[in-house]
Chains A and B, each alone.
Chain A
């Protein structure tokens, strides 16, 4: 074991020490450390266990592509699983632990899986549950359900906290001319060039320091670079990941506002979710170094080459003492030199036989034509077997004692964001990588993300990228060119897998999901040769890192097996997010009570003051019931409903939709919209109406009042108010532009109270300035009139009843709603009246067989609910042709009926399936949609539907089956009008 902090290297602040906790032990690091560098500085090499085989895993990279160092940060409700230690900033008091291990990452009982690996090859889930021949024992869902919990427990990485997240997340929006992703040398050059031309530029960097790969250069000063950019007016967003690129140059960003420090400004959100609209997007997202697949390439101590240079020059951590670097390209040599300078012993294995020049400058040993073959050691690297290559076969030639193996199998440009736009990458065989394809939108790729390796070329490409943006935005017409892809002195030679002679090798392609080369070959043998199938069958590239390092190795293996070139095998599509995004950030502040807006009626507070328990009805809160001392909801609603039938009750029904309809063609319009006749509705009369949809099913019901020759007032159900309004607007603007009609939503302008019960007149006598105007003669059923409440408060009174009792609805300007409730309630109290809520309202309407959204659920016709004879035969209206479609007028359609329990003590619930006796199965012959206790009848009743309706079933007992609640009861089918079918009370 030998990673350690060394003096005189790195950009960390050694003045400021942070204490952190790893696996219940305290350690120290410095400001500027990542968790990974702090762990390495403390020589902690095993940081986790692998997904399937529970093999020890260490830090394998220095960035978001990390496959080994996935850890859990925090405890309790602040626990965050699957955090990449490499991109987690260290802070004072950070608590972290390894994952997927019991009891600890150092001694993990699950590692027995490593010896059972033959049973866990690709597709093992699918095969295991095919059953064991010859009887196929163990086949099917039940077996899966049984084993699932054990398998799920064994697999998977970190565990989430089940506690509510205490942190705040925020949403924000922004605009800019040019958004540059990535602050490497190319990105900085682009941002400077564009800012220089006075454009509004945002530069986004996921790291806490800007610089990208330059952070591994000793001479680079990140703070200077930042200051320079800011002085030019560039808006630099650090700790911000551009996770997705969408239509019209819209970017999704996640800004980690206070992940990085523990004691925390309470007001600040943990993360900010940005939607930024740019006019042009420049992507300098860099490239990922690939590893090489060879046996045991995952033993802690194996790492990508450039990561080691970052740990040295950025964090002052030397990751090994005896280091073997294995490469197929020039990029590794700079690291080798830096490591030698820091005092490590370095041997470079270069797969390439002949190089144009000596890249080592005689500072370290280089062995050409040699590749890594096998790592010896399990918990740490003891030595490396190396092989030479003859005709693409590998033969072990030597063993080198070492404590670290660095790998560079080439570089893959991070084309992810461009891929989000559906632009397929192109294969560049000279540089052995996918390079970005041409984007039709305002997107420019620069730097290594474009496949350009050299630093000067990267800077040049950054400037060209800015010029390209300026030209495309029509700001300038400057000539520019992009440097050629590549840029190494010696060309790269393909090296993806070093095949191991022995069977059952552990050459990992995807470290995170434990996918080996053998798994890819197995997928090929079993026919999963398309890349999309390969991915899903082996889960290659489906882990947290989404195959940033391993995907191309998998592709090359499949290409090899198929005898094709890599580009002919294809590549899977990268989709957002680039790195994982927490659900909390997506939810933002839309949590708890802010999940959706709250609509209240103007008498909301009045209801609360008078003891209402509220219920959500869409966005509205409505009074549910008004409990007296110790009353349960059942006690309360039954008392309320009984009081309405006996004396009088008052209910807030403001949430109904209300639409004002004005204009010379209003009558024609109303008449086309409703299925029943409206042309002859007299002024000062209101009518119950049913609207259909274009397809002939019921849209909504409500009342419509004729105020004058050219003016109407329409009410809708609470639930459909918005939809009806939009539909009326569509009809007027899209289909019937010649009608001179205007519609206005006035739902919020009126407060409405329903007052009903036999004592209603006595109550209103005391409430109105002149109560004679609501006499039976002056205001007959379905009439309405303007009146004044005591105190000369103007209102409109309609004689409408939903409860089936004598009833009025009083409409008043919203500002006077509380006053109205006071006046009505003070009077009603004297007549032993009550306030009632939605539950009693429901009970009363079910008793009367009045339908609501539960029955008008978008599947029922006007005939189904028994109102077909209301529909006009003399006119055409929306849905009139379509409601006569065969399927809507079939004989066996379910019709609205009432349900009584045969045993009067029985209850049933909405959703109960109605079946014939002795034939309880499937969908049955009907269903229960609404239920209530009927105080009037003294037992449970329901509304619902049954095939053939009441005529067919009135003499036959049926069965209500409720498999979810495991209930069954005998049911009698009755008319839906269960109380006062003649409507005598209504007219009383």
Chain B
């Protein structure tokens, strides 16, 4: 029963969103060696506390969001577009 404040659509129930994954991953370049990709794809921290994750507002504006959520209380402390320029567009 999480509410996510979509920067474009406003505060909505989490059922409108779909969970993406770990937002802290820095994806290697496509031509990076396999080891780097293995690390990026398979290795995850199991965080107790605030975790950065991606969600997509799939039944709304379809924006990919970077969400900071506590894995203990589900409290959401920050929501922003993954695409930096999108935030600027919304602000204008």
A737 partner residues in chain B, CB cutoff 8 A: 82-85
A726 touches B58 (CB 8 A): yes
A733 partner residues in chain B, CB cutoff 8 A: 63-64, 81-83, 86
B33 within 8 Å of A by Cβ?
A: yes
| Shortest Cβ distance from residue A639 to the other chain B in the assembled complex, whole angstroms | 42
B30 touches A880 (CB 8 A): yes
A250 touches B1 (CB 8 A): yes
Contact residues on A (Cβ < 8 Å of other chain), bracket? 20 to 34
B81 partner residues in chain A, CB cutoff 8 A: 733
B20 within 8 Å of A by Cβ?
A: yes
Contact residues on B (Cβ < 8 Å of other chain), bracket? 20 to 34
A694 within 8 Å of B by Cβ?
A: yes
B32 within 8 Å of A by Cβ?
A: yes
A275 to B74 Cα, complex, angstroms: 18
| Shortest Cβ distance from residue A900 to the other chain B in the assembled complex, whole angstroms | 39
A672 partner residues in chain B, CB cutoff 8 A: 30
A735 to B2 Cα, complex, angstroms: 26
Q: Which of chain A's residues has its CB closest to B63's CB?
A: A733
A876 to B83 Cα, complex, angstroms: 23
A18 within 8 Å of B by Cβ?
A: no
Tell which of A246, A440, A734, A882 has the most Cβ of chain B within 10 Å.
Answer: A734
Contacting residue for A247 out of B2, B20, B27, B30, CB 8 A:
B2
A885 partner residues in chain B, CB cutoff 8 A: 34, 38
| Shortest Cβ distance from residue B14 to the other chain A in the assembled complex, whole angstroms | 9
A734 to B20 Cα, complex, angstroms: 11
* Residue interface bits B1-42, CB-to-A below 8 A is 1, else 0: 111000000000000001010000001011111101110111
B64 touches A734 (CB 8 A): yes
B64 partner residues in chain A, CB cutoff 8 A: 729-730, 733-734
Q: Which of chain B's residues has its CB closest to A245's CB?
A: B1
B20 touches A730 (CB 8 A): yes
Q: Which of chain B's residues has its CB closest to A745's CB?
A: B62
B84 partner residues in chain A, CB cutoff 8 A: 737
A441 to B85 Cα, complex, angstroms: 35
| Shortest Cβ distance from residue A548 to the other chain B in the assembled complex, whole angstroms | 25
A695 within 8 Å of B by Cβ?
A: yes
A-B pair number, CB within 8 angstroms? 70
Within residues 235 to 288 of chain A, which ones have a CB less than 8 A from any CB in chain B? 246-248, 250, 275, 277
| Shortest Cβ distance from residue A748 to the other chain B in the assembled complex, whole angstroms | 15
A884 within 8 Å of B by Cβ?
A: yes
A441 partner residues in chain B, CB cutoff 8 A: 73
A726 partner residues in chain B, CB cutoff 8 A: 18, 56, 58, 62
Take A672-B30, A878-B30, A885-B38 as given contacts and tell me if A729 and B74 are in contact as well, using a CB distance cutoff of 8 Å.
no
Within residues 58 to 92 of chain B, which ones have a CB less than 8 A from any CB in chain A? 58, 62-64, 73-74, 81-86
Contacting residue for B32 out of A247, A694, A881, A884, CB 8 A:
A881
A248 touches B83 (CB 8 A): no
Q: Which of chain A's residues has its CB closest to B23's CB?
A: A734
A737 to B36 Cα, complex, angstroms: 21
B54 within 8 Å of A by Cβ?
A: yes
A880 to B82 Cα, complex, angstroms: 25
Take A694-B37, A694-B41, A876-B31 as given contacts and tell me if A248 and B1 are in contact as well, using a CB distance cutoff of 8 Å.
yes
A695 to B41 Cα, complex, angstroms: 7
B54 touches A884 (CB 8 A): no
A275 partner residues in chain B, CB cutoff 8 A: 1
Q: Which of chain B's residues has its CB closest to A737's CB?
A: B83
A877 within 8 Å of B by Cβ?
A: yes
Tell which of A248, A732, A735 has the most Cβ of chain B within 10 Å.
Answer: A248
A371 to B84 Cα, complex, angstroms: 74
A735 touches B1 (CB 8 A): no
A881 touches B37 (CB 8 A): yes
| Shortest Cβ distance from residue B74 to the other chain A in the assembled complex, whole angstroms | 5
B3 touches A882 (CB 8 A): no
A881 partner residues in chain B, CB cutoff 8 A: 30-34, 36-37
A737 to B87 Cα, complex, angstroms: 12
A884 partner residues in chain B, CB cutoff 8 A: 34
A246 to B73 Cα, complex, angstroms: 11
A735 touches B33 (CB 8 A): no
| Shortest Cβ distance from residue A576 to the other chain B in the assembled complex, whole angstroms | 12
B37 touches A734 (CB 8 A): no
B82 partner residues in chain A, CB cutoff 8 A: 733-734, 737
B74 touches A248 (CB 8 A): yes
B83 partner residues in chain A, CB cutoff 8 A: 732-734, 737
Within residues 487 to 522 of chain A, which ones have a CB less than 8 A from any CB in chain B? none
Take A248-B2, A734-B82 as given contacts and tell me if A882 and B34 are in contact as well, using a CB distance cutoff of 8 Å.
yes
Other than A695-B42, A730-B56, give 9 A-B pairs with Cβ distance below 8 A.
A250-B1, A275-B1, A277-B3, A440-B73, A734-B54, A734-B64, A877-B30, A880-B30, A882-B38
A residues with CB within 8 A of B = 246-248, 250, 275, 277, 440-441, 672, 694-695, 726, 729-730, 732-735, 737, 876-878, 880-882, 884-885
3 nearest interchain CB pairs? Answer: A876-B30, A250-B1, A876-B31
Q: Name 14 A/B residue pairs within 8 A (Cβ), A-sorted.
A: A247-B1, A247-B74, A248-B3, A248-B74, A726-B58, A729-B56, A730-B56, A734-B64, A737-B83, A737-B85, A877-B30, A878-B30, A882-B34, A885-B34
